[in-house]
Structure 1
Amino acid sequence: MTAVDEVSRVVVVDNYTIEIRGKWTGPDGLTYNWREMLALLKPGESVEILASEEEGSLKADVIIIDGKRFTRG
């Protein structure tokens, strides 16, 4: 992950801009909003983002942070 932009609600990975939108469900069953998800993305942690193209932009569907899976929706 190259950068996190809270104003635009995006992360940049290998020159791809991925939007982080909506509500998320974590491995603990709790619900997180997009702002809380961006705050969880810290330098040095292992992060995987699975995204799909919607309306011409990439939107994150699944974010895995240090083995913990967060799912949009």
Structure 2
Amino acid sequence: MRLDIRKWGNSKAIRLPKKLLKEWDREPVAFDAEVKVQWLILTPIFKEQKALDVLFKDYTGDKDDYPFEIVDKG
């Protein structure tokens, strides 16, 4: 995939297409960049998932999806 370099203020920028970002199961928040033998290597950095985010990731609101046992105390 070819990515063009564009002027952005006093800097240069590369825009990452949505198609490229969808290669991961979650969206990166940043990239670690390094240059090795004239190659630019971008490594994605992802937001750390919180325990509740992981626990309720597939929860749709139905009580069948609720990950805990429902106890009737009445």
Settle same-fold status: TM greater than 0.5. no
Structure with more contact order per residue of length (Cα contacts < 8 Å, sep ≥ 6): 1
TM-score (structure 2 length as normaliser)? 0.29
Q: Decide which structure has the larger Cα Rg and report it.
A: 2
